[in-house]
Structures are given as C-alpha cells and as structure tokens.
A and B are shown apart, each in its own frame.
Chain A
Amino acid sequence: MEPRSSEKLKPGIWREMGLTDQEFDRVKEILGREPNYVELGIFAVMWSEHCSYKTSRPVLKFFPTEGEQVLQGPGENAGIVDIGDGQAVAFKIESHNHPSAVEPYQGAATGVGGILRDVFTMGARPIAVLDSLRFGSLKNSRTRYLFSGVVSGISGYGNCVGVPTVGGEVFFAPTYEENPLVNVMCVGLIDHKDIKKGVAAGIGNPVMVVGARTGRDGIHGATFASEELSEESAEKRPAVQVGDPFMEKLLLEACLEVIKSGYVVGIQDMGAAGLTSSSCEMASRAGTGIEMDLSLVPRREEGMTPYELMLSESQERMLVVVKKGTEDKVKEIFNKWDLEAVVVGRVTGDGMLRLTEGQQLVAEVPAKALTDEAPVYQRPYSEPEYLKEAQNLSPVKIPIPDNYEQVLLDLLASPNIASKEWVYRQYDHMVGTNTVVRPGSDAAVLRVKGTKKGIAMTTDCNPRYCYLDPYMGGMIAVAEAARNLVCSGAKPLAITNCLNFGNPEKPGVMWQFRRAVQGMSEACRKLNTPVTGGNVSFYNETKGTAVYPTPTVGMVGLIEDLDYCCTQDFKDEGDIIILVGETRVELGGSEYLSVVHGLEGRGTPPQLDLELERKVQQAVLEAIKKGLVKSAHDCSEGGLAVALAESCISGGIGAEIYSIENIRGDALLFGESQSRIIISASENNVAELIRHLTLMEVPFTRLGTVGGEELRINLMDSGCAAGRPRPVINLPVAEMESRWRGAVKCLMK
C-alpha cells in the first residue's frame, strides 16, 4: 500500500492523513506544486494538532512566561528554572492519553520514555518522575485493566531506567471511562553551563541519528493523537510505539556524556513525528536548513521507504548536530555505551528540509513551513449547554447527614481520597537516594546532593471544578499546586502544564479551553509562577462526549534549607492545631457530594480569592522557615475532616478538635473551600505563631490539640450561648487508616 514518492497522489488521500482540503491547498501554494507522498506525509504530521498546536496557539498566548527565575520558557524540549549556585531545574509534563487507551502498558511506558528524553536532551539528569492519571470507575473491569496496565507500564519503564517516580495523582470519574488520561512529568537537574537546545546551527555541521534503530512502529502516531477515539481505535494499535527502557538508560548516559564533552551544537528527541519533527524543528529554531540521506538511517528491517523512515515513531532515538570534525569522537562515546551514532546529513543555509535516498531527491520542503508557518485556527467558542444545569444546585436541597463518622469513613475509602500505596509501591520511588519526602504527601521533596537545598514538586488539577467552572478550576489547579509546595516549605517557582480537553472543533470545548487557560494565567501571574512549557491534548472524547476539562499543573519549588522541610503528619502529643484560612458553605463539585449524595460534578465549585491565597501561602511559608511549624497539610478533596484524618493517619497519632458550627456541619467538615492549610505547632511556639499570622493579616482558627489514638471532632453552637460541645466524630486512627489504606488495594484484587 506504500506509495512511492514518484507516484501521483490519489485524490483525497490527504483527508485520510488528517489534512483538510484547505490545508492541502495551502501545501500546494507553499510548494508551488503538488506534494509527493513523502512530503504530504510530512505536512500531515507536522500540521496535526498534536505537533502544530494550530488550535491552541492563539489561546496559549494568555500564559505569562517570564520571570527572573526562568532560564528557558516555552518552545524548547523542556522549561528551565534557576535554583541558585549555578544550578537549575529542567521540567516538563506531557500526555500519552490515546496510546494508553488502546495499549495501556506500552502507551504509559513510552510516555515516560518520551518525557525523560525531553529533559535529558536539555543536558539535565532526570531526577524524578510524577504521573497524573485519570480513569473511569474502578468498579468497571475495563478500568481496572487500564489502570493496572498503565501503572505497570510506568513502573516497568521508569524503574528500569532508574529515575524514581516520586509523586503525582490518580483521580477516578465516569467521564474518563474510555478515554483515560496519562500525563507524565519529569524533573531534571542541570548546571547552567551545560544547558543545550534543539538547534541545528552552524552551516556544514554534521547531523547524526543516535540510539535505537528505526522501525515501522508508531507511524502516524501524532495524527492518531489528533482525532477522537472510536470503535476502530483498537485497530490503530500499530500507531502505538513500543518502549525499551534499557536502551533509554544507555541513551541517557551516552547523551549526558556527549553533552558534557562539548561536541554538541544542538540535540533533540525524536518524539512525535520522529525524524520529521526533530529535523525541521531544529532547523527552524536556528533559521537553517537540513539535508539528510535517508539511506544512511540505521533501520530494523529491510525495505523501509522514505515515508516510513520519516514518520516512524520508534522510541529511544535522538537527532544530534555536532561540531564539524568531532563526528568520530561522538561515535566513540556512543559506541562505549554500545549504541549506534551515524552521520545522516548536514546543516545547510537555505532553510530547506531536503531528503534524499542516495542520490535521488525524495522531498524538499521549507522547514519553517512545517513549524512556525503551520496553520493557526481561531476556533469559535461559546458557553456549553450543560453548564447552567450542572451548576444549578441549591444547598438547601442537600440533606444534612445525621452520621458524620460514616461520611468520613466513606470519604476515606473513596478511591479519589484513599491511599494510592497500591500504585506507588510499584514505582521505585527511592532510586537516586535523593527522595526526602516520599509519595503520599502534598508534594514530593528531593534533596540536591552537595547542598542544603531541596526541590519540591507536585501535579494538580481538580477536573470537577474545571467542568463546573473552567476559569475557577484553572485558577484553583495552579493555586493548589502552589499550596502543596508551600506545605512542604518550598517557594513555588514555575509551572508546566498538560491541557487535556475534548474536541476543540466544538465551540463548548473551545470555550472550556479558553476559560481554563485564562484562569490558570491569572493565578500564575498572581503567585509569580510563570509557565515554562507543556503540552496540549485535544480530542479526548469517546462516543462524542468530552472528558472533564483537565488542565493538569506540574509545579516545582525550592527549599533553601532542608532543615526547614515540612510534612503533613501530626508529630507530638500536645501540639496545637491551627487552621489558616476560612471555611465557607461551598459544597459544589465536592467529593462529598459525589460519594455521599450521588451528585457527581454538580453545583458551583469553591471560589478562589487569589489575594487571600497569596497571603495564606506567604504566611505559612514564612512560619515554616522560622521553624514555628511542625506539620502543614493542604485542605482539598474531602475538606477539613479528611485533611485532619490524613494528618493523623500519617503521623500515627490522634487529635481533639473543637470547632464552632457557624455554618452547616457538612460544609464545615467536608466542604472544599480553598486557601486553607492545617498546621500544627508545639505549645511554646503558639504565641509567636499567632502573632505572626496576625501580622500577616490572614484569617486563622485554633482548632485543637494533637494527641490520643482517636480523631475526635466536637462542634459548638455559634453565638455567645455556645453551650456544651457536641462530639460528632470519634474514630480510632487505626480504623480510619485501615479504611483509607485498604480501599484501592481491595478494589484491585
């Protein structure tokens, strides 16, 4: 079926490749002639949504991308932020949703592989991986198959390469039943002087293909990622690549060694659209051209055509431009790691991507036409119809439960809140011996060897909030990520994001996308956490219904001195518990509504006051740095009661809480009001802590005391005649722990 480049195009063939008639006309206009098959394939893949961002580009302009901490913003393989002393952190998040939906193990595994390469191609050594995963209900057997396949794929790949998987999130909701989301983030450490970019600079410099050989796998994977999943998607399994983590490990070591050697001019991963995207993007960034003889590309099988070679997404390959005359030195380094490195072409000055097979010309396309000059669409947007009805929910109609203990136990056993130990026990989260705060906390913390510094990292997004109000949901995703870092004692630095949405050709989805990006941008500006890059994944739909809008935020922060690193667990008998922030009647979009009242994704989500958020974060961070705080935990899904239970469970100690019931009890205990952090402090620091919080002008409430073996929550009537406290929750920590720890494991049996 493989047409040769000399054949005349079959009418309409471009549509099968994902190009519209107008786009095809544009291709002809650019070339001044009809493209051949190879050229058409190249245009189709580079102009796919996945590679070109043709829909998202105008919207992504809302993001703030600058800040004094930013060394590399969007547009490169990964973003880079300064952490002082000549060191920096490179990080990026990416989706592998569609591949994981049809082949969960390999889909997730190659997701890890791709994001690792994005980071080490910058010259950084990957030090951590985080995953943000979304699935349907665990009661469904296909979900369990996808969930366990994805987790073992991540485990199989990451563990073998030897980069610890230290955190992330898992969220279950029916909307993801057939279109799970697999977002993988990698964080790397680099010295400023070693930063490398994906540029094909220096006319005459050799272009080398290194790493694995090219095979027939993953052809048109980027196009596959740019359409909706359907009944036929399973047949696209060949568009999913197969990963080889051992090869990746060798490639990682060899690339870092060759980058240190100083021979490298530019380097880029062959990810989506393989040899095509890496070559034209590197040329385009440098304003140069590249010519390659495809007959020189090492391959796994005989008879591969130029079309296949250019579109293959075989994994564990890199394109490297080296200084002229250093080819043999570079080969030597790769050979030491038993890898191939072959010169396939050179950098030219004419801006063309020119491909030959031996002497014969097989394609000739301006590099910029494939990248910067790709089509851009201002797609129409309008508020989706579901919204008004979904938001419309009067709290008066929600009955107040009479047994709060049962509610708390049910929430602790809900897979969205329950321990994810079943997941992270399968990930090597300690290799590298840097993991100071392990998975299961608000944020993971890694030390930087040879310094007192730590890097905190997290991923966050509550997609229910985004569904009910994408603007608010987007803001909250950023704010909560920052709050998680602050709870560990870190100053938030910057974000990367993975924007998972439905089909953007639908105005309702486009509206969600715009609103979410605007909300995130607002929060990034206010919290001074600029966007350094990320990835957009559209067409996450099954049978015509979009998934919840899911703009996942990956954030990194800096702890200057690990002696002041903070964790969520209650520490000692007699410590005083304080709630920083305010609780309002905000039940919309809560886990409580979903689990207890069967109202999934209903109501208006909690509101976020960014100024209050900033003040709360600043106050808590400074208190931690002053050594006044012994534990800090963000109040999120499940509200105050769940956050208290989690601090008890992780600390193996109880707490006695007294709270005035100034709002309805279920909202007080299980509502998800934002900008709240539960902290604990030793009795003799409390006076100073309270003085500090007062000076910082943040609202706070003294809640009670750490101690005992139960979590006891007592409510009091508001007003002056408070009366006797009424105990509403009195649960042994051990009982809460067994419900919380056992839930996911039990469902997966």
Chain B
Amino acid sequence: MKFGVIVFPGSNCDADCLHAVKAVLDQPVEYIWHKSNSVDGFDCIILPGGFSYGDYLRAGAIARFSPVMEAVINYAQKGGWVLGICNGFQVLLEAGLLPGAMRRNNNLQFICQDTYLKVENCSTPFTALCHPGEVLKIPVAHGEGNYYCDEKTLKELKQNNQIVFRYCDEMGKVTGEANPNGSINNIAGICNRHGNVLGMMPHPERCAEEILGSSDGAVLFKSILASWQRRVK
C-alpha cells in the first residue's frame, strides 16, 4: 500500500507523518509537492499539520488553492482515502471536502496537550480497528481548532454518522471540561458522507510509538492498512 504526504509551504508535520507510516506500517510512503498536479498511484493521501503559507489569513485558506488540491479533490470525489490532520483538517474544510469551519480556540491561545478521544464511528477506513466508544489518548497542538458548523449541518453530521472523534475525559465521558478548544459538540474529527475523507485536529502521528508516551495513534495507521488489505482482497 502506498501513502502520499502532501507538502505545502509551511507544512511542518510532513516528516512526522512520513515517519509514522514507516515506523508503524513499514509501507512505502512519499512526499507530494504542493505544485504537483497529480496524486495518481497513491492509496492514501495525508494532509499533514503545520502552518501552510503561514496561515496568516485563515488556517488553510491559501493552501486550498495549491495546484495539488485540485488533484486531491478529484481523488477524494472518486472515493480515494484522504486523512487531514490539524492544518490538514483545516485545509479540507476550506476546500469544501468536509463541512463546517474552524475558529480560534475559545481561550485565544495555542494549546498543546494530550486529549482523550471517544471513537464514535468505527466504520471508516481510518478507524476500522477501533471499538465503538473506545477511548484514545492523542495530543492536540493548535490555535484554531474550535470546530464550528450550523445547526442543520450538525444534525446531518449526526444523522450520517460523520462525527468520528469527540473530546472526552479519561473514562470516555464527553464533558465540557474535556473540550480543549470550545468546538461544537466536542467534535475532534469528522468524515464526509462516504467516510473516505477524515479530518481531525489531534495528531495520531505524535503518539504512534510507545517511546513517545502513548501508541494510541498507531491504531489509525493500522486501520488504514487493514481496510486497504480487506478492500484489495
């Protein structure tokens, strides 16, 4: 299975994602330059975290116009698997591949800390190996992770089972206190209707190896490979 990690100017988790794929899955993985017009030949595309184009406007607002994004949008519309992490999630929102928008964290500060996530949807390729309601410890690191959408969209997200991760406490209880940034409904990650595009603020690549204090993030990478193996069989 071949992974591609998009490199926008200002991406800074690109190398971390590349490393995680190698370390956890030992599968081929390559960078894809933002000026590239094609993402052919890849089985999963990762949009990494960082500050694409400095994020001086709105996070992800400029990256969305990169040449490569047209290819990514086509790829996603054909059912290709796309994982957007942190800034990658913001780019997916700006590109219209996922609904809603990001606001600044409600305390107006950048927040870097471990969070607990309740897995709400195990039927995506990215969460296939999780159990419903499983609690994962995965860190966040962002200034604009306060996810927002209107009532109608939220209702649709719920109806279509598009909410994949919600912030919770260690025991799996979804509480206001467990919400680090004020995001609506404690949303930490959502997918599109078909489940082939996932955006999440927490960083699974930062906790995919035991030496980093938690390997809970590895389950996402393992799920992707397992789902792919199932699909090609």
Instruction: Write the residues of chain A forming the contact surface with B, with a CB cutoff of 8 angstroms.
Output: 152, 155-156, 159-162, 244-247, 249-250, 337-338, 424-433, 435-436, 438, 447, 449, 562
Contacts and interface: CB of A to CB of B under 8 A. Distances in A.
Contacts of B13: 162, 431
A256 B206 CA distance: 24
Name the 9 nearest CB pairs between A and B, nearest first.
Answer: A162-B12, A246-B54, A160-B51, A433-B16, A428-B141, A428-B112, A426-B110, A430-B206, A155-B110
B96 interface: no
B55 interface: yes
A431 B19 CA distance: 12
Contact of A425 (B16, B49, B111): B111
Nearest to B109: A426
Nearest to B33: A336
Given A160-B54, A160-B55, A246-B54, A430 B9 contact: no
Contact of A249 (B10, B15, B19): B10
B113 interface: yes
A430 B208 CA distance: 12
A156 to B, nearest CB: 8
A427 B113 CA distance: 9
Contacts of B49: 431
B201 interface: no
B88 interface: no
Contacts of A449: 19
A246 B110 contact: no
Given A246-B9, A431-B12, A436 B141 contact: no
A607 B211 CA distance: 38
17 contacts: A159-B143, A160-B54, A245-B51, A246-B51, A246-B53, A249-B9, A250-B10, A425-B112, A427-B110, A428-B141, A430-B203, A433-B209, A433-B212, A435-B212, A436-B211, A436-B212, A562-B211
B54 A425 contact: no
Interface of B: 9-10, 12-13, 15-16, 19-20, 49-51, 53-56, 109-113, 139, 141, 143, 203, 205-206, 208-209, 211-213
A488 B138 CA distance: 24
A190 B19 CA distance: 18
B211 A244 contact: no
A470 to B, nearest CB: 37
A217 B53 CA distance: 23
A162 B50 contact: yes
B53 A433 contact: no
A431 B110 contact: no
A249 B12 contact: yes
Contacts of A244: 54
Nearest to A447: B211
Contacts of A159: 51, 110, 112, 141, 143
A158 to B, nearest CB: 10
A250 B9 contact: yes
B61 to A, nearest CB: 13
Given A160-B12, A433-B206, 16 more contacts: A152-B109, A155-B110, A159-B141, A161-B12, A246-B54, A246-B55, A249-B51, A425-B111, A425-B113, A426-B111, A430-B212, A431-B13, A431-B16, A431-B49, A433-B19, A436-B213
Contacts of B213: 436, 438
Contacts of A425: 109, 111-113
A428 B110 contact: yes
Q: Which of B56, B109, B203 counts the most A-chain CB atoms under 10 A from its CB? A: B109
B10 A160 contact: yes
B27 to A, nearest CB: 17
Nearest to B15: A432
Contacts of A433: 16, 19-20, 205-206, 208-209, 212
A489 B141 CA distance: 28
Q: Which of A250, A431, A436, A447 counts the most B-chain CB atoms under 10 A from its CB? A: A431
A167 to B, nearest CB: 13
A244 B54 CA distance: 8
B82 to A, nearest CB: 21
A424 B213 CA distance: 17
Contacts of A424: 112
A443 to B, nearest CB: 16
A474 B233 CA distance: 67
Contacts of B203: 430
A119 B217 CA distance: 31
A160 B112 CA distance: 13
B213 to A, nearest CB: 8
A174 to B, nearest CB: 27
Contacts of A432: 15-16
A436 B9 CA distance: 27
A432 B48 CA distance: 12
Contacts of A431: 12-13, 16, 49, 141, 206
A424 B51 CA distance: 19
Contacts of B208: 433
A436 B209 CA distance: 10
Contacts of B51: 159-160, 162, 245-246, 249
Nearest to A160: B51
Q: Which of B9, B19, B110, B205 counts the most A-chain CB atoms under 10 A from its CB? A: B110
A660 to B, nearest CB: 38
Contacts of B212: 430, 433, 435-436
Contact of B112 (A250, A338, A429): A429
Contacts of A427: 110, 112
A552 B213 CA distance: 30
A430 B205 CA distance: 10
B55 to A, nearest CB: 7
A159 B55 CA distance: 12
Nearest to A565: B211
Contacts of A249: 9-10, 12, 51
A130 to B, nearest CB: 15
Contacts of A162: 12-13, 50-51
A372 to B, nearest CB: 39
B151 to A, nearest CB: 32
B223 to A, nearest CB: 19
A5 to B, nearest CB: 37
Contacts of A160: 10, 12, 51, 54-55
A338 B211 contact: no
Contacts of B111: 425-426
Contacts of A429: 112
Contacts of B54: 160, 244-247
Q: Which of A156, A244, A249, A435 counts the most B-chain CB atoms under 10 A from its CB? A: A249
Contacts of B112: 159, 424-430
A432 B54 CA distance: 18
Nearest to B143: A159
A34 B206 CA distance: 61
A432 B203 CA distance: 11
A148 to B, nearest CB: 9
Contacts of A447: 211
A113 to B, nearest CB: 13
A10 B52 CA distance: 49
A44 to B, nearest CB: 34
Contacts of A161: 12
A212 to B, nearest CB: 12
Contacts of B55: 160, 246
Contacts of A155: 109-110
Nearest to A439: B112
A507 B111 CA distance: 46
B146 to A, nearest CB: 16
A276 B139 CA distance: 44
A745 to B, nearest CB: 11
Given A426-B111, A427-B112, A433-B20, A337 B9 contact: yes
